[in-house]
Amino acid sequence: MSYASGGGAHAQSQGMVDHSIVGQITAAQNAARLRFRLTFVAVWIAIIVGIGVALAAANAWDWEFALESGPVIVLQGAGITVLISVASIVGATILAILGALGRISTNPILYAIASFYVSLIRGTPLIAQIYIIYFALPQLDIVIPAIPAGILALSLNYGAYMTEIFRAGIQAVPRGQREAAGALGMRQAHIMRRIVLPQAVRIVTPAIGNEFIAMLKDSALLSTISVHETLFLAQRLGRSSFEPITALLIAAIVYWILTIVFSIFQERLEKRMARSDR
């Protein structure tokens, strides 16, 4: 009762506000927001034009090379970059789930194995791991072609970092979920697979997106083991035609655009998941 009368009084006082003031405030806020955005775009354009003018003045950008070799770098190179990154994020996710299960295990052997994996991989440079898999293993008669070797190295490396992400994600699932599942008579493996992991995956999805974007760029390290990805092609074509600036700038732009595209994609995915959670 008291709520209802209170609400009535509130509505009345609201009715007395001068609507033209509200309209003016909204319009001013919209104008300020628009001004901010326009300035933002203008600054970006200014910087890009500035770089373009500087390159033209130094006679550094070669259109002939760009039009001839650019499509190779973009189509073939970016294709391989994305392919390797997608394959590696899948591998890394599988390793990370196994690693996380080990890291939360009460079995000392599993815990030790998972901890060793995370410690070793996080404690050594990615480039060293790539070299060991591609250049050192053949000495033991284990020869892995460049692309699988690259995917293996990236999967192992990112899997170790993502192990901690998944561990945190699993532990972020409220304890009540496990208790409720246990109270319904589910066994531990069932609880993990059907109740905890699906919720943990949702929790860590934004973080996996970040890892994927980082991986797109780290995959450039595979140019050192002659995987024909973006940077490798740019380097080779740029060197043979004495146009390293144009070639490497194209490669840089390819990575930049790829990360922007996947960031937008990730943002959409996150919004959609947030909506289904509500």
Among 91, 148, 182, 206, binds other proteins (CB under 8 A): 182
Residue 181 in the binding site for other proteins (CB under 8 A): yes
| Nearer of residues 38 and 172 to other proteins, judged by Cβ | 172
Exposed/middle/buried for 196, CB within 10 Å: 0-12, 13-18, 19+? Answer: buried
| Nearer of residues 170 and 221 to other proteins, judged by Cβ | 170
Residue 108 in the binding site for other proteins (CB under 8 A): no
| Nearer of residues 199 and 266 to other proteins, judged by Cβ | 199
Which one of 43-51, 121-129, 184-192, 225-233 is the stretch in contact with other proteins (CB under 8 A)?
184-192
Among 15, 108, 123, 176, binds other proteins (CB under 8 A): 176
CA distance 158 to 91: 9
Among 198, 226, 256, 260, binds other proteins (CB under 8 A): 198
Residue type for position 113:
I
How many secondary structure helices (H) and strands (E) does the chain include?
Answer: 12, 0
Q: What is the biggest distance separating any 2 CA atoms in the chain, rounded to whole angstroms?
A: 85
What is the token pair recorded at 30?
């919209």
211 Cβ contact list (under 8 Å, min separation 6): 89, 92, 158, 161, 162, 165
CA distance 23 to 125: 58
| Nearer of residues 179 and 270 to other proteins, judged by Cβ | 179
Among 35, 39, 174, 239, binds other proteins (CB under 8 A): 174
CA distance 238 to 87: 28
Among 74, 195, 208, 221, binds other proteins (CB under 8 A): 195
Chain residues in the site for other proteins (CB under 8 A): 174, 176-177, 179-187, 190, 194-195, 198-199, 202, 276-278
